[in-house]
Amino acid sequence: MNKILLQKKDLTFLKKAIDNKETREALRGVIMTEAGDMATTDGRRLHILNGKGFSAGPEGITPGAYTILGETKSGPAGYMEIILEKMELEAPDVAKVIPDTSNGLGMISIYDKKEDKTSLTRAIINLYNRTGRGYQHEYLEALAPFNTPWKLYAKGKGDDAGPALLVFGDLKAVIMPMARID
């Protein structure tokens, strides 16, 4: 068992991308990457917390897929401790789907509805204008509680567009475009 201390808002961000389908066990928990980051994915989006954004204690934590056994308030205000148990299965290699950062497309501002009622709509339109593809609003809505602009990276445009990478501080979100319907 491993214990990790992280900010509550970062835990909420990670949990938004956990797959709750029973058929994909490796996607129902946390993935610790070779780079030392913590990631969650449901197969259509990937949320990553840089290794500097949490504390795994002096012994660290080995790469692999983990189940979240529990969570409690701990440490300074606004922090949570999660208890993880390593799964006996191979974790997906999340590094394969992260777009490189050589093609920066500017900033996408995403704010909470309480702050700006039209922010999410503007973000969806801006993302479409910059990539030529549509992306699920709920995936962008998961970024809204941070009330900030996110750096946007994507490769290609239109039919050639791949996943979008949005970066803010220690957080990364990779979002797959919606399928085209012709």
pTM of the predicted model, to two decimals? 0.91
Sign of CA dihedral 18, 113, 172, 174: positive
Q: How many angstroms separate the CA atoms of 179 and 182, rounded? A: 10
Cα-based distances in Å from 16 to 39, 138, 144: 11, 10, 12
Neighbour-count burial of 168, counting CB atoms closer than 10 A to its CB (0-12 exposed, 13-18 middle, 19+ buried): middle
Q: How confident is the model at residue 23 (pLDDT cuts 50, 70, 90)?
A: low
Please, are residues 96 and 113 in contact by the beta-carbon 8 Å criterion?
Answer: no
Q: In the numeric block, which tokens belong to residue 177?
A: 């475009």
pLDDT for 45-93, tens place per residue? 999 999 888 887 657 789 999 999 999 998 888 899 999 999 988 888 8
pLDDT digits (tens, 9 = 90+) for 110-126: 998 888 889 999 999 99
Residue bearing the bigger pLDDT, 2 or 158: 2
Taking CA 170 as the corner, what is the angle to CA 169 and CA 172, rounded to the nearest 5 degrees? 90
Residue type, 175: I
Domain residue spans in the chain?
2-94, 104-175
- Residue 182, pLDDT score: 63
- Exposure b/e, 127-144, CB count within 10 A at least 16 = b: beebbebebeeebbbbbb
